[in-house]
Structures are given as C-alpha cells and as structure tokens.
Amino acid sequence: MTSMPPHPEATPAAKPGTTPTLVLIGHGMVGQRFLEELADRGVTGRARVVVLCEEPRPAYDRVQLTSYFAGRSPDDLSLVDPDFMARHGIELHLGDPATAVDRTARTVTARSGLTVRYDALVLATGSYPFVPPVPGKDSAGCFVYRTIEDLLAIEEYAENARTGVVVGGGLLGLEAAGALKGLGLRTHIVEFAPRLMALQVDEGGGRALRRTVEEMGLEVHTGVGGKEIVADGAGAVTAMGLSDDSRIETDLVVFSAGVRPRDQLARDCGLPVGDRGGIVVDERCRTADPAVYAIGECALAADGRVYGLVAPGYDMARTAAAGLAEALGADTAPADGFTGADLSTKLKLLGVDVASFGDAHGATDGCLDVVYSDARSGVYKKLVIGAAGELLGGVLVGDAEAYGMLRPLTGSVPPVSPEQLVLPAGAEGGAAALGPSALPDSAVLCNCHNVTKGTVRAAVTEHSCGTLPEVKKCTKAGTGCGSCVKSLTAVMNDELAASGATIDTGLCGCFPHTRAELYEIVRTLRLTTFAELLDSHGRPEARNGDGCEICKPTVGSIIASLAPSVGADGYVLDGEQAALQDTNDHFLANLQRNGSYSIVPRIPGGEITPEKLIVIGEVARDFGLYTKITGGQRIDLFGARVDQLPQVWARLVDAGFESGHAYGKALRTVKSCVGQTWCRYGVQDSVRMAIDLELRYRGLRSPHKLKSAVSGCARECAEARGKDFGVIATSNGWNLYVGGNGGADPRHADLLAQDLSDAELIRLIDRFLMFYIRTADRLERTSAWLERIEGGLDHVRDVVVHDSLGLCDELEALMAAHVTHYRDEWAETLADPERLARFVSFVNAPDAPDPSVRFVPERDQVKPDLTLLAGPTLPVRTLEGTSV
C-alpha cells in the first residue's frame, strides 16, 4: 500500500471576500449522504456546492436495485427529495462526469467542457464492475449488474432470451440471478470459490444456502470459472465454456464477479493509490492533497481496506462533511475519524435469510463454535464464542431472525448460553427470544447510519417521536437497508409503553391502522379499491402512493372477503385487485419448483363419483401430469405449464369440478372419515357434514389459509383437533373445536361448544370464522390469533356463543352474503377471453411453451428434471451489506 504523507496544512479556504466552492464528483448513495451531512451542518449556506454525476438520474437506492424487477420504478428508488437540491442551492449536473482534475489550478473539467474551480474537492466515484478477462466477454448479450441502466438493458435483452448465466456467486451475483429468474429465464450461477457467498458464510452455511437456492430452481456451479463466451455469426452469446471443460448453452451472461475502486481520476492527477486500487486517505478521509477528500468505495481507508458496503460509506461521508464544516467555521460537532467499519451483513436473497457478523469464520485464537443445523429445513446457525464466553461472531442461514439482537451483543457475554441462542424457539433447552431490553444503550441497532439503542430511546423520550416514521426522520435509523426496523419498533414501543404514551400499531409504513381496523374501515365505508383506502386512511406521506408488499395483499384479502357486502367484484384478478394478489393467485394455481403448476379440484368430503374420477384420470393422462391423492382427501395434479392451465380447467369445469383454492389464503378442505354410514363406530354422518361445510365456506378469503375436518366419532380418524375449526361427532350432536394447527407449530384445537345440532354448529362456525377474519392480523393462523387475542378462548366464546358484543347478527349476515355470492374463480376465468390472456409462458411469445419445464419418468409417472430446474423465484430484497 502507498503510504499517506503528512498534511502540511488544513483544507484551504477561499480568497477573502469570496464564497468557497465545494465540488463533489459522483452522486451515488454515499455522495447523496455527503450532501445531506453538509446540509445538516449548515455548509450549503456557506459555500457553493457543485455536483458532477455520470448517471442520467440523481442518487438512487442501489441496495434495493433488484426491487426494480419486483415492480418498483426508478423514481421509487430515488434517494433525493424533489426539492432537496433547490432548497440547499446545490448545482447538480446529471450525465456530465468529471474527466480531469487539475490540482495545481484546482479545477475540475467535465465531459461537457464545463470547468469548475474548487476550494475543496470530494471524490465519491464509487467502483466499477470487474469483468474477468474471458474471451468473448464483449459479445452481444453480455452485461454487468450495477446501475438502473444496466437493469433496463438486461430487461430488454431478456425478452428474446430463454437461458441466462450469472458469473459470480456473491451478494450481487445472487441478486442478478434472482432478477434473471424473475424475468423467466432458466438461470445458472457460476462461482469460482468453492461455495456461494464465500466472504460472508462458512462451509456449513454455504451448503445450506446452496441447497435452498437449488430448490428454488437455480443451477449452481461452484469451484469453476468462465473459460470463454461463445457467440454466433452475428456476435451474440450462444454458450459459455467453463474451466472444467463443461459448457452451458445460454442466451445472456451477466458479470457480477466483484467490483474495483474507480480511482482513475486520482491516478491521472497524481494522487497516491493503493497497490490493488483505492485512493489513499487518512482517518479524516483526506488524500495526500489537503484540498481533496475521497469517500466510499473509491477510497482506501486508513486501515488499508476498501469498503464496499453502504454503512462504511456513510461513515466516511459523515467524517468528510464534519471536516469541511470545521474548516468553514460551521458551529457543528466534529465527527470521529474513520478508522474501520463493521462488516456485518444481513440479506434476504431469493427469499432466503442470510447473515454474518463479527468473527464469522472463527479466526480468533482459542475460539469455539456452537452450531445448529437442520438440513431438511435449510437452517444453519453458527456462533463463534471466545475463551471468556464472549460472543465473537456468527453465521445465520435460513433463519436470521436473531441477527438484530446478536450483532449488538458481539464482544460481550450473552445473557443466556450460546446453545440457547441457536436452538429454534420451542425446542428443548432453547431460550425465549431476546428482546431489545437485553441490549445496552451503546448497542448499535442501525448499522447503516451507526445509530445506537440509546439514540433511538432519546428520539422517543427527548424529541417526542411517537411513530416509526418520526424515529426514522429524527435518527435516520431504518432508512438504509431496513433490516433494523423490527428492533427499532420494539425499542420505540418499549419507551412509549414506559411513558404511558399510545403505541403505533399500524399495519405498515403506509397505514397507521391495524388489519382489524382496516377491515372495519372497508366494511363501514364500503370501500372497494386499495387506492380509495390508501388515499383516505393511509399515512399522509404514503397517500397517492402504491402501497407496499405488506399492505397490498392484506387489503386485497380484506376486500375479497367483504366483496359481497361492500359491493365489490369478488373476482380476484379484475382491475386493481390483480396487482394486490400473492404470486400463486395471479394464475389461480400453485407454482412448483420447476416452473410448472399444480391443479387441485375441490372434492368436498373426499366424495367423488366414478365419472368424475375418470375425468381426472383422463386429464392427467392427456396432459402427462403427476397424480397424487393428498392427506386432505383431494387429488393433486402436478406438472402443468401455465399455458395449459385453462385447457385443463376447461375439462374439469365441464365435468363439474371447482377450484380447490390450494393457491389462496382461503378454505382449503374439510377432511372427513366415512362416519356412521359405513363405520361401525360412527355416531353421526360426518361425510355429509363435511360436504355441507366445505360447500358453505369455499372461496372464503381470510388472513391465512383455513383447514377443517369432521370426525364421525371420538376415535378422531379425521384429526379434527389439528384444524382451524374441527368437528367431532357425539351421540347428542357435534362438538366444535377451534384454533388448531397441524403445521410447523402444532397446536391442538380447543373446545368451543358441545352437543350442537346441525343448525347450531353451522351458526357458530359462521360467527367464529367471520370474527377471526374481522380481528386477526395479516398472515395470522387461527391458532396464533386465539393465543394473541385478549381474553383468548373465553373471550371468543363470549363473543360468538353468548353474543357479548352484540355482533352475531352482523357476523352471520356477512357469511350469508359470502355464501350467496360465491362464484367459482376458474369458471369465471374461462368465460372471459381477457382473463385467459394472462396464461402464457412468455408475453413476447404467447404461443411458445416454456422449454425449461421438463420431466423424467419415475414409478410410471413423471417428476421434474432436477438437472434442468427452472422454478419459482421470490422477489429479491437486499438488506444490510450490499455494495453501494
């Protein structure tokens, strides 16, 4: 590394009687943060500030770059308030990068020919993508993944592509792979290291990550590099050869193999740079020239590292701004010098939580590892413990819920044993989740902006912040990657509760109301669209917006469940409703791991005629579908392409079948035993009752999926007590159980009422379901709702059995409206050509089937070809640790 010479003088001021000029080269995330720091310190009122920006748009959130493919527009990603530049008198030159710096004359020349004299210059030029020297790398169809313009180019080219390769299995590489999958491409990841995310996770974490990523349909090649790009006669990519002499046929290649500091301007003007790049700076972010600073990824910090994360860049921006403010005589507190940064990382890649913090690889002498691994569920947790019992670091894959608490505890002895920290909640020997109360005030909650727990507490107690948006505005915490929002909310609520203040229980940043309150607003005001609700009852800053991933499906479910009562069209894919639905609802089918879909006809009570059974068999045979009888008394047909779904359902609907709603947050099935009709132990007709219940509640949209069962006697063959509402026959009628769950967190249902007649049973189930739909939180099963709701089962019994709130007539009327207005979604879809138009594999080639959906024979049926997976991709949301 080139050493840093001593500074003979401070940053020079302007000539007496003139206004000093500060020039910022680069307007990325770090550059914008620097401008905000200048404004906060009053520097923009004391100096002329000129910004030269290479990109055609102001600074945007590069951390969330991939969310563009999930529907966010470039404007949504902007980090600059519309009036920020004008308000602070900042001159921003877009699309006009600096081309030369003359340190003797103290001038910067831009590509347009503009020349600006500076008194202080700040280089925030960031980094550029590293493209390995692979022959053919300049072929048409080769891209890098760095800017919005890169994404726009990839999106356009992918319209005529079927397969893509991403070179690089790090943070941005997995982002890019997720983006390609989201564009419908069969996607490969090529990583030279022996595992994905080698810098962040260890070998065990890498195995868990790879297993989960491959299950999501991406093909992973580790321990190999690119050897050549093969192009056709027109110069377009057709294949990529690998270093092990294998070959991947592909139409598109994205290079995401790391970045390098953009330090060419510094080199050209004679500033020292490191042996491996990066502009050499001291602890105040000053270069060898006292008038020139460097911040962000282009800088080689005083500890000899180039930092590619957003949080260190923000720290550098703060340090440089403080130094300039001091030189200009602004009355602000100086910032600490930048001597290094926490490299902790938390991300959600392809829906997989991945985090590392502290000494994640156990490099400290005498340290020990505490490991929990569950290969079946893709969860891997490792904590590194020092000789004195202190937490040194860790790796979390598949379940990073504890990251927000563990990272601040690094360097201290945890309040519980390390074994308790890695065991899953509820496991023998596991501990209850640590809350923010276990953290000291000095613990950093927001790593992006270096905000401590004490600062968040002070925002509530000293600055009267009572909502999360107010805390964010006051402290800047939570405005970076967003991974700390849960911890911020908990600390804020603790402080508010301690002071006796009202706690903001809003659904999300868009609405100040709970889900239950939004339900009442929609019902009372008879609102039929999300836009109406957001504009009239959203938070002021969210009105006229688009909502978020939390509120859109939640409100969509509310409107769907209330549709008959408020006058809305109950069809979930009409107009605005379509944009609110979860992934599976878009095609009224469950997306499977290889990109195909499943068909699940409703079979009430498991009772089916031979004629209907023959139709299912014929459909499965004619379309080559995998057929399975489920534990819920239904027949699943797997392996249909999206373009085949209408053809399959046309035949099923003609035969009298309806949608089984296996894709929706709705009633799935009412399981039953054969009851007294056939069984010698049965005391009631359980099959008839199961059919009646399933036909009554079919299509009922709710906060989460609903399952039910009816057992014909106390022997409980239908396992009714493991269901959201279960019915068990007695010699005197029916016992009704509620709040059961046989899923990941099993819970036996509780007895609500006993010895009920048919009419009494149905009336109580009507009330119970509508009260649950009315008061539950988003994605809250009846089991969790029953344990959370104040008063628990006793309160629910008072409401739905004894009508303590006087709601029962209303609850029954809501259910009656649902039953009266029920329409089968697939029958409605087949009758409308516009609705059918969505069922194509490729928008640009509607008649072409997806060639990546392939199968191989197994046990006289088919299964997905595991060597050609092209399965579902969840929207990629990058959190803490992404390059800026």
Among the candidates 581, 597, 629, a domain finishes at: 581
With contact defined as beta carbons under 8 Å apart, do 606 and 634 qualify?
Answer: yes
**701 domain-assigned:** yes
pLDDT of 876 strictly over 50: no
**470 domain-assigned:** no
Burial 717-731 (b: 16+ CB within 10 A, else e): bbbbbbbbbbbbbee
Q: Which residues face 444 on adjacent strands?
A: 452
In the chain, helix, strand, coil percent, each to 5?
35, 20, 45
According to DSSP, residue 747 is labeled: B
pLDDT of 5 strictly over 60: no
Region 27-50 average pLDDT: 93
**8 domain-assigned:** no
**338 domain-assigned:** no
Q: In terms of domains, do 817 and 675 share one?
A: yes
3-state DSSP of 336-363: CCCCCCCCCEEEEECCEEEEEEECCCCC
Q: How far apart are CA 373 and CA 30, in angstroms?
A: 38
Helix or strand (DSSP H, E) at 635: strand 635-640
> Residue 569: its pLDDT value, please?
66
Tokens encoding 708 = 């039910």
Q: In terms of domains, do 710 and 805 share one?
A: yes
Which one has a higher pLDDT value, 16 or 254?
254
According to DSSP, residue 777 is labeled: P
CA distances from 718 to 631, 713, 727 (A): 10, 9, 9
**333 domain-assigned:** no
Burial 377-397 (b: 16+ CB within 10 A, else e): ebbbbbbbbbeeebbbbbbbb
Q: In terms of domains, do 416 and 533 share one?
A: no
Residues contacting residue 156 through CB under 8 Å, at least 6 positions apart: none
Give the annotated binding-site residues for siroheme: 717
Q: Which residues face 397 on adjacent strands?
A: 354, 380
Percent of the chain, pLDDT > 70? Answer: 88
Burial 466-480 (b: 16+ CB within 10 A, else e): bbbbbbbbbbbbbbb
Q: In terms of domains, do 695 and 606 share one?
A: no
Among the candidates 581, 601, 617, a domain finishes at: 581
pLDDT tens string 277-308: 999 999 999 999 999 999 999 999 988 889 88
Residue 880 pLDDT grade (very low, low, confident, very high; cuts 50, 70, 90): very low
Q: In terms of domains, do 813 and 828 share one?
A: no
Q: Residue 160 sits in a domain of what CATH number? A: 3.50.50.60
**32 domain-assigned:** yes
Percent of the chain, pLDDT > 90? Answer: 43
The answer for 304, left when phi > 0, alpha when psi is -120 to 50, beta otherwise, is left
**233 domain-assigned:** yes
* CB atoms closer than 10 angstroms to residue 302: 17
Least confident segment among 670-674, 796-800, 831-835: 831-835
Q: Phi first, then psi: what are they for 211, rounded to 5°?
A: -60, -45
Which one has a higher pLDDT value, 474 or 205?
474
Q: How far apart are CA 870 and CA 851, in angstroms?
A: 10
Q: Residue 625 sits in a domain of what CATH number? A: 3.90.480
> Residue 53: its pLDDT value, please?
95
Residue 844 pLDDT grade (very low, low, confident, very high; cuts 50, 70, 90): low
Q: In terms of domains, do 685 and 808 share one?
A: yes
Give the annotated binding-site residues: 673, 679, 713, 717
> Residue 509: its pLDDT value, please?
80
pLDDT of 562 strictly over 60: yes
Sequence letter at residue 355: A
> Residue 354: its pLDDT value, please?
82
Q: How far apart are CA 761 and CA 756, in angstroms?
A: 6
With contact defined as beta carbons under 8 Å apart, do 865 and 467 qualify?
Answer: no
Q: How far apart are CA 147 and CA 132, in angstroms?
A: 19
The string of DSSP codes covering 435-446 is PGGGS-TTSEEE
Q: Residue 399 sits in a domain of what CATH number? A: 3.30.390.30
Q: In terms of domains, do 643 and 784 share one?
A: no
Q: Which residues face 52 on adjacent strands?
A: 25, 93
With contact defined as beta carbons under 8 Å apart, do 665 and 865 qualify?
Answer: no
With contact defined as beta carbons under 8 Å apart, do 447 and 487 qualify?
Answer: no
Region 304-323 average pLDDT: 89
Q: How far apart are CA 794 and CA 799, in angstroms?
A: 9
> Residue 884: its pLDDT value, please?
29
**651 domain-assigned:** yes
The tally of domains found in the chain comes to: 6
pLDDT tens string 725-783: 999 999 999 999 999 987 656 788 999 999 999 999 999 999 999 999 999 998 899 99
Q: In terms of domains, do 55 and 120 share one?
A: yes
With contact defined as beta carbons under 8 Å apart, do 842 and 186 qualify?
Answer: no
Q: Residue 714 sits in a domain of what CATH number? A: 3.30.413.10
pLDDT tens string 385-402: 998 899 998 888 887 777
pLDDT tens string 65-91: 877 776 677 888 889 988 899 999 999
Among the candidates 376, 399, 434, a domain finishes at: 434
Tokens 């009430």: give the residue.
604
Sequence letter at residue 717: C
Tokens encoding 390 = 């202190």
Q: In terms of domains, do 172 and 320 share one?
A: no
Structural domain including 161 reads: 131-257
Q: In terms of domains, do 401 and 305 share one?
A: no
Residue 421 pLDDT grade (very low, low, confident, very high; cuts 50, 70, 90): confident
Q: In terms of domains, do 646 and 615 share one?
A: yes
Give the annotated binding-site residues for [4Fe-4S] cluster: 673, 679, 713, 717
> Residue 866: its pLDDT value, please?
60
pLDDT of 492 strictly over 90: no
pLDDT tens string 794-803: 999 999 999 9
Alpha-carbon torsion 465, 469, 473, 477, what sign? positive
Q: Rounded to an integer, what is the distance from CA 679 to the centroid of its chain?
A: 49
Q: In terms of domains, do 691 and 800 share one?
A: yes
pLDDT of 21 strictly over 90: yes
Region 156-173 average pLDDT: 90
3 state DSSP class of 392: strand
